[in-house]
Chains A and B, each alone.
Chain A
Amino acid sequence: MKNLKMEINMKTKNVNSAVITGFIAVLLLAAPVQVNAAKGHIEIRNEVRKVETFLNKKGVKQQREVEATKVTPGDELLYTIYFKNTSKDATSNIVINNPVPKNMVYKNGSAFGSGTDITFSVDGGKKFAKSGKLKVKSKGGKVRSATASDYTDIRWVFKPKLNPGDQGTVQFRAILK
């Protein structure tokens, strides 16, 4: 480790408002940081949780969601996107696009969304198709079927209208490389 933390501690000896701000920033960075959507008709909340495997009282492996801290390579993360129509107008043709985060691999079969058609892209969002219908070129130029680890983007097409006050949720899981 490097000694950044130590520098901050040393600064706190000279109490001033700038240092206190620094401390708040540190605390925020430790927990997942959310950037709220700009005000419009639809408000989005983008949430990440860590999926933890543990042994229950019977000694059987189970999974539970915990705060996305203590995340290290190989960990599985669950992303949940909540969207709500906060306006007075009905909305339609709702399409949710989520590139797979950098340094992460999409977990096969994990995308979920009630009332949605789910498609994937392997070319950064140019073309989308159903799981199992995508092809990629390997290094040798051979074309093969794409697997979940090739996915670059996930798309949910929300079929119903989203009337004022209505809300929806989509989810996917990814693994940190």
Chain B
Amino acid sequence: MAMKRFILSTFLLAGLLLPVSSWAVGTGANTIINNTVNITYDTGAVTGLTVNASVSFRVDEIIAATHTWQDAGNIIVLSPDSNQVLTFLLTNVGNGVETFALSVNNAIAGDNFDPLNARIYLDNGNGIFDGILVETLYVPGVNDPVLDANGVDAIVIFVLNDIPAALLATNTGISRIIASSTTPGASGSPVGTILPGQGDGGLIDAIVGTTTADVNANGVYEVQANPVGLVKSADVIDDGSACTTGCSPIPGATIRYSVQVNVIGLGIAESLTIADVIPVNTTYLPSSITLDAIAMSDAVDADAGDFTANTVTINLGNVNAPATRTITFDVTIN
């Protein structure tokens, strides 16, 4: 049932959208549209007389394009990192031949860092980044993409950036690619601006379409999260018999819990806190918390450890990966 309902709604949506989008790319700029009318008539003496008249106009050029980010999700990076690839698709949705100048803006609001050293590469035709030796480095004004709305109308564009050092896990950085029509007067002009004589062939006008002549798309980098591993073990260290090994877990015996915290990967694990509730039928042994073999007080104070509400809490703060921290505390069996 769920599937059926989905299909139905898709159909409805398609029906609603079609009339709007049916002429995304229409009759080519500079096409001559001719209309010829023919009239046949009779006079008293002659039948089947005929006369024609024509009128024609030329189709002007609409400048319009779309730019979309093609990656399935954020590109996961390390900090620092280099040559990280974002993939975009630029499509001419006007009706003429347009040349586009490309640029990158990494100073975009709403992220945590600005990617560095942006470079643009033009796809060699397979849509996949095959390395900087295979793809063509974009040089403004030298190899600006030329897209024909009624021919090869789209190009895959790769943006490569480097990632700064010392970023925090899950930090994001936005890289924006901008494509602007190189038709004089088009870039920066509002929708509907008429550019006399600037259409294909020079006989027609160019008109800035609904997308404007400047289109952009954002791609996002995300710093890899630091997986934090915990390894917990328990040893009976004292059962009242002055044992050194093989102590028995009997009432009154002391158990030492050891929690090893492993921060893996690169970057920084932020505000890392370990909380461990004391097991039932045991009692916390006061002043037994250690962090990397240094004793911690039970109070909530300047040191990292405390014992509150039957829970041992260690606040490790920001931990630079890779790192291993060891926590111990003792309990007695009731």
Contact with A along B33-71 (1 / 0, CB 8 A): 111111111111101010111111111111000000000
Q: Tell me the smallest distance from the CB of A53 to a CB of chain B, in Å.
A: 12
Find the residue from B31, B198, B207 having the highest chain A CB count within 10 A.
B31
Q: Tell me the smallest distance from the CB of A56 to a CB of chain B, in Å.
A: 18
Residues of A within 8 A of B95 (CB): 72-73
Residue of B nearest to A174 (CB): B35
Interface 9-residue window, one of A13-21, A44-52, A57-65, A134-142:
A44-52
CA of A5 to CA of B195, assembled, Å: 13
- Contact indicator A1/B199 (Cβ below 8 Å): yes
Residue of B nearest to A43 (CB): B51
Candidates B55, B197, B200; contact of A46 at CB < 8 Å: B55
A90 in contact (CB, < 8 A): yes
Contact with A along B184-213 (1 / 0, CB 8 A): 000000000010011111111111010000
Query: Known contacts A44-B52, A101-B34: does B41 contact A95 (CB below 8 Å)?
Result: yes
Candidates B34, B51, B58; contact of A29 at CB < 8 Å: B58
- Contact indicator A32/B183 (Cβ below 8 Å): no
Residues of B within 8 A of A96 (CB): 37-39
Residues of B within 8 A of A104 (CB): 33
Find the residue from A31, A32, A70 having the highest chain B CB count within 10 A.
A70
B326 in contact (CB, < 8 A): no
A-B Cβ contacts below 8 A, count? 168
B240 in contact (CB, < 8 A): no
CA of A70 to CA of B29, assembled, Å: 11
Q: Tell me the smallest distance from the CB of B151 to a CB of chain A, in Å.
A: 14
CA of A177 to CA of B149, assembled, Å: 14
Contact with B along A77-117 (1 / 0, CB 8 A): 10101010001011111111111011110000000000000
- Contact indicator A73/B26 (Cβ below 8 Å): yes
Find the residue from A68, A96, A177 having the highest chain B CB count within 10 A.
A177
- Contact indicator B52/A176 (Cβ below 8 Å): no
A41 in contact (CB, < 8 A): yes
B27 in contact (CB, < 8 A): yes
CA of A102 to CA of B198, assembled, Å: 25
Q: Tell me the smallest distance from the CB of A167 to a CB of chain B, in Å.
A: 12
CA of A56 to CA of B57, assembled, Å: 27
- Contact indicator A92/B41 (Cβ below 8 Å): yes
Residue of B nearest to A33 (CB): B56
B267 in contact (CB, < 8 A): no
- Contact indicator A73/B62 (Cβ below 8 Å): yes
Interface residues of B in 87-104 (CB under 8 A from A): 95-98
CA of A37 to CA of B138, assembled, Å: 55
- Contact indicator B207/A35 (Cβ below 8 Å): no
Residues of B within 8 A of A177 (CB): 23, 26-27
CA of A125 to CA of B287, assembled, Å: 101
A71 in contact (CB, < 8 A): yes
Q: List 23 A-B contacts (CB under 8 A).
A: A1-B61, A1-B202, A5-B201, A30-B203, A31-B57, A32-B57, A38-B52, A41-B41, A43-B51, A46-B53, A47-B55, A70-B60, A71-B60, A72-B62, A73-B27, A77-B57, A83-B39, A89-B44, A91-B43, A93-B41, A98-B36, A98-B37, A103-B59
Given A5-B202, A98-B37, A101-B34, list of 12 further CB < 8 A pairs? A1-B199, A4-B201, A33-B55, A38-B52, A69-B205, A70-B205, A71-B57, A72-B59, A73-B95, A81-B37, A97-B38, A99-B36
Task: Name B's A-contacting residues (CB within 8 A).
Answer: 23, 25-27, 31, 33-45, 47, 49, 51-62, 95-98, 183, 194, 197-207, 209
